Amino acid sequence: MKIIRLNSVSKFYKQSKVLDNLSLEIEEKERIVIVGPSGCGKTTLLRLIAGFTAPDTGSLFIEEDLAARDGKIIKEPQERNLGMVFQDLALWPHLSVEENIAFGLKARGVGKVERKERIKAILTLVDLIGYEKRKPFQLSGGQQQRVALARALVLEPKILLMDEPLSSLDTALNLRLRREIIGLQEKLGFTLVYVTHNEKEASDIATRLVKMDQGLTK
Site string for another protein, 179-218 (x = CB under 8 A): ----------------------------------------
48 neighbors 19 (Cβ within 8 angstroms): yes
CA 51 and chain centroid, separation: 12
Per-residue DSSP letter, 164: S
Whether the CB-CB separation of 62 and 49 falls below 8 Å is answered with yes
103 binds another protein (CB under 8 A): yes
Site for another protein in 127-156 (CB under 8 A): 135, 137, 151-152, 155
Binding to another protein by CB under 8 A, coded x per residue (else -) over 60-79, reads ----------------xxx-
How near is the Cβ of 97 to another protein at its closest, in Å?
13
Which residue, 42 or 217, is less far from another protein as judged by CB? 42
Q: Does 14 bind another protein (CB under 8 A)?
A: no
The amino acid at 99: E
Residue 52 in the binding site for another protein (CB under 8 A): yes
- Cβ-contact 91, 148 below 8 angstroms: yes
Residue 143 falls in which region: left (phi positive, over 0), alpha (psi -120 to 50) or beta = alpha
Q: Which is nearer to another protein, 4 or 161 (CB)?
A: 161
**SS3 category, 32:** strand
User: Cα 215 to the chain's mean position, in Å?
Assistant: 19
Residues contributing to the site for another protein (CB under 8 A): 50-52, 76-78, 80, 82-84, 86-90, 92-94, 103-104, 107-108, 135, 137, 151-152, 155, 161
